[in-house]
């Protein structure tokens, strides 16, 4: 699984421009996160079809970075996120983004974008 990090200007219509490029290519968004700081924004997207999303963004002249993400399945209870974050932090792994990508019963599936995927996979086994 991969995520797309898209830097943009904080102005009306920017999210619509990105969503339009993806929808024209029939790309479904599995998870999205976004925020602005001052005049800059950042949208992070996990798409159902990585290659189609990459092509749609390129054709839409939308600059992006894409990164491998790892997934973890956690119990939906207090302290679970703390445990994952502590394991990453204690092993010098920086967390770039996290997403909820699924809910099932008492379980939550998170996707994590980190600076060292290989090490994070080992730490979170």
Q: How far is CA 98 from CA 12, 18, 80, 85, 92, in A?
A: 25, 20, 14, 11, 17
Partnered with residue 54 across adjacent β-strands are none
DSSP code for 117: H
Reading the block at residue 107, the tokens are: 């379980």
Angle formed at CA 30 by CA 108 and CA 66, multiple of 5 degrees? 105
Query: What is the domain count for the chain?
Result: 2
Same domain for 74 and 38:
no
- Per residue in 5-32, pLDDT (tens digit) is 999 988 899 999 999 999 999 999 999 9
Q: How far is CA 115 from CA 11, 24, 107, 109, in A?
A: 29, 31, 25, 20
Same domain for 109 and 77:
yes
pTM of the model: 0.86
- Per residue in 48-86, pLDDT (tens digit) is 999 999 999 999 999 999 999 999 999 999 999 999 999
Q: Which CATH number do you get for residue 46? A: 3.30.2130.10
Q: Which domain holds residue 11?
A: 2-67
Phi, psi of 120 (to 5 degrees): -65, -40
Helices 14-24 and 50-59, packing angle to 10 deg: 120
Task: Count Cα neighbours of 9 within 13 Å in the Cβ-side half-sphere.
Answer: 3
Evaluate if residue 125 carries a pLDDT over 90: no
């Amino acid at each position: 699984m991969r995520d797309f990090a898209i830097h943009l200007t904080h102005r009306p219509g920017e999210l619509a421009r990105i969503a339009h490029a993806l929808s024209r290519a029939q790309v479904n968004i599995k998870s999205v996160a976004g925020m602005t700081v001052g005049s800059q924004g950042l949208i992070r997207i996990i798409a159902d079809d990585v290659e189609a999303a990459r092509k749609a963004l390129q054709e839409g002249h939308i600059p992006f970075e894409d990164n491998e993400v790892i997934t973890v399945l956690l119990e939906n209870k207090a302290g679970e996120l703390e445990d994952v974050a502590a394991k990453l932090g204690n092993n010098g792994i920086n967390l770039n983004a996290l997403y909820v990508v699924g809910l099932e019963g008492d379980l939550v599936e998170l996707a994590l974008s980190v600076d060292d995927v290989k090490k994070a996979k080992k730490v979170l086994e």
